[in-house]
A and B are shown apart, each in its own frame.
Chain A
């Protein structure tokens, strides 16, 4: 596929720009610290003793400071949701960068791991050099107490050494539990080890106490490399003393002072911000919600409608559910399918019952019956379990209304963010910038379409009544081609006539959209399997559609 520069810049330019900025900041910090330690006058003696290990360890330490402070910022989800909603970030391109916050967090985390390895290796070399080059002239400078002290004893008997070992152990635990495989299968291991970050940061802030590396405080009275009173310069042996030599005599002994710990200056701001955010989220979610309705839908989906005081959400946002009756510490994200409005204060989620948490949650909500569409009103004596809701948190699907033309592609249960969008359009479509919506929904079974069949038909009907038949373009696809199915109900005629068997052909779809919407920016939103989103992403970057720019936005849960 031909890569067009304009499309690539529109889709990938923003995040690559941020990546280059970040790499540049890291490189600049590394080089600046390296040069300070290798050429600085106050480090002359230390550099002579330790060599390159000093410069590399300190340079990597400063890069670690930067990354440890940056790594927390993308995880302040409420703050990012706020930024997304308000008009502080008025440019759509800047808001798109917020979609990549988790990727940035991972990049900083990997940088922390790599530079920790560099830092630890360089310090191990330093410790060996401290032990090997112990000189009686400069006892204050040396971390070792005598020549040839065992480096392992040096590590275990100093504060930086012990804290360093603990930091490495915690980082090792966090890093090994963060792989994709573990997050997929045993999310709890990942979550609990990652929460060790607070221990990591506390130890990090005391890591430099008892300073191992010292700088010279009296460079002006004792220029490094000056001659001691009883020393003679090797070059001038046999020559007469010249007047200029007086300057090369030391006026006093070199004095050394350990560094003031700097890490807290970098790290305390983001750490306080993140802790404040966690505290705020805890307070906000401490009120349990009232479950109003539970509906069982075909294909193992249940809908839960809830009520919570003072809860406001926008279409496309997601909430995190915690049910102590199922599991005290597990939190699961679900996209909202109905948002609270002025008329109706209830909000709802659709959840697919796959996995032990959802199975157990469904058992607590509904009795085991064979009836498919069962509605249990609140009047009935039913004790619903206590449920806590954290959120709402922003996601990329909120941008659907900010494009003139949007293409929403949903795979199976991935339709949930767009269902909320459709609900909002049902209440009123004129106030948004959106003028045309292409809605593609691919499901394995026909029964899945019944989750939102009423909503789709109602919206279709309303738009036709208001003389905007081109506003909503529905395309439904059933990907399993074995059993021939059809929606035979009369009221779902708009759906059955737009239903196709087989997988969608994306190139044709994009051709159709670009022909009908020239010179426009089309927002492409995908919530579904990786295969579909990869294909769409490539098509958006391909740039074969002259005059039309497709901007790709992917919904992903973190």
Chain B
């Protein structure tokens, strides 16, 4: 029922995978384990993936929830145009970034997670999704003249002043029809 937007899930996965890569890379470099150059690479790859995936894309239907402070990232990512808009490109980038991380033990988990994210992005691309930036809506201000209704040109219809004055001797004649019905307040 309804079209599932795979890209949103792939985005969450890629962000998590970027963080895992970053953590694994830091551990690998800090311990100077065998193959620590791959760990250094995966720190850089992790940071890049996090920056690329932090701004959430716009949903096709319904309101999109932004991540806090993502506006500047949105602007940066949007600047790359079709490279970031197209999900085939993203799937390929993630797959390519993941491969070197698989050569070191500390970062192999990040490699697997990023690989899964890349597969889901491929699925999203096949079903025709695209990354749209969430930009703040410019408020259209209604022209002041349209929102204020036309003030009336003529006074409301009333009988002349001498008829309106209450005459004690002729109360019935002084009465006039109210345009709006007045009813008593019954309890």
Residues of chain A at the chain B interface (Cβ within 8 Å): 120-121, 124, 127-128, 151-152, 165, 168-169, 172-173, 175-177, 179-182, 184-186, 188-189, 326-327, 330, 356-357, 360
Please give, as numbers and ranges, the residues of chain A lying within 8 Å of B101 by CB-CB distance.
Answer: none
A172 and B1 contact, CB distance less than 8 A: no
Please give, as numbers and ranges, the residues of chain A lying within 8 Å of B5 by CB-CB distance.
Answer: 185-186
Inter-chain CA distance A168–B1, complex, in Å, is: 30
Inter-chain CA distance A260–B108, complex, in Å, is: 29
Contact among B6, B12, B56, B105 for A124, CB-based, below 8 A: B105
With contacts A172-B113, A173-B116 known, is A188 near B9, CB below 8 A?
Answer: no
With contacts A169-B112, A185-B8, A186-B4 known, is A176 near B16, CB below 8 A?
Answer: yes
Contact among B16, B27, B33, B62 for A185, CB-based, below 8 A: B62
Return A151 CB to nearest CB of chain B, in Å: 5
A172 and B116 contact, CB distance less than 8 A: yes
Main secondary structure of the interface of B (DSSP, over half): helix
With contacts A181-B65, A185-B62 known, is A120 near B109, CB below 8 A?
Answer: yes
B9 and A357 contact, CB distance less than 8 A: no
Contact among A120, A127, A168, A182 for B9, CB-based, below 8 A: A182
For A326, the closest partner residue in chain B by CB is B1
A128 and B1 contact, CB distance less than 8 A: no
A121 and B27 contact, CB distance less than 8 A: yes
Please give, as numbers and ranges, the residues of chain A lying within 8 Å of B116 by CB-CB distance.
Answer: 169, 172-173
Please give, as numbers and ranges, the residues of chain B lying within 8 Å of A327 by CB-CB distance.
Answer: 1
With contacts A176-B16, A177-B9 known, is A152 near B4, CB below 8 A?
Answer: no
Q: Which of B11-44 contact A (CB under 8 A)?
A: 12-13, 16, 27, 33
> B85 at interface (Cβ–Cβ under 8 A)?
no
Q: How many residues of B contact A (CB 8 A)?
A: 23
Return A188 CB to nearest CB of chain B, in Å: 6
- 10 tightest Cβ-Cβ pairs between the two chains A and B: A327-B1, A356-B2, A176-B12, A176-B13, A151-B105, A186-B4, A189-B9, A181-B65, A176-B16, A172-B113
Please give, as numbers and ranges, the residues of chain B lying within 8 Å of A356 by CB-CB distance.
Answer: 1-2
For A173, the closest partner residue in chain B by CB is B116
Please give, as numbers and ranges, the residues of chain A lying within 8 Å of B62 by CB-CB distance.
Answer: 185
For B17, the closest partner residue in chain A by CB is A172
Contact among B4, B33, B108 for A188, CB-based, below 8 A: B4
For A188, the closest partner residue in chain B by CB is B4
What 1/0 mask marks residues of chain B from 102 to 120 whose CB sits below 8 Å from any chain A CB? 0001101100110010000
Inter-chain CA distance A152–B105, complex, in Å, is: 7
A175 and B112 contact, CB distance less than 8 A: no
Please give, as numbers and ranges, the residues of chain B lying within 8 Å of A357 by CB-CB distance.
Answer: 1-2
Return A271 CB to nearest CB of chain B, in Å: 26
For B27, the closest partner residue in chain A by CB is A121
A186 and B9 contact, CB distance less than 8 A: yes
B8 and A186 contact, CB distance less than 8 A: yes
Return B132 CB to nearest CB of chain A, in Å: 14
Inter-chain CA distance A475–B92, complex, in Å, is: 59
Please give, as numbers and ranges, the residues of chain A lying within 8 Å of B59 by CB-CB distance.
Answer: 185
Return B182 CB to nearest CB of chain A, in Å: 14
* Subset of 30 A-B contacts with CB under 8 Å: A120-B109, A121-B27, A124-B106, A152-B108, A168-B109, A169-B112, A169-B113, A172-B13, A172-B16, A172-B113, A172-B116, A173-B116, A175-B16, A176-B12, A176-B16, A177-B12, A181-B8, A181-B12, A182-B8, A182-B9, A182-B12, A185-B59, A185-B62, A186-B4, A186-B5, A186-B9, A189-B4, A189-B6, A330-B1, A357-B2
Return A239 CB to nearest CB of chain B, in Å: 41
Please give, as numbers and ranges, the residues of chain B lying within 8 Å of A165 by CB-CB distance.
Answer: 112
Return A557 CB to nearest CB of chain B, in Å: 17
A176 and B9 contact, CB distance less than 8 A: yes
Return B21 CB to nearest CB of chain A, in Å: 13
Return B134 CB to nearest CB of chain A, in Å: 12
A173, A181, A184, A188 — most chain B CB neighbours (10 Å): A181
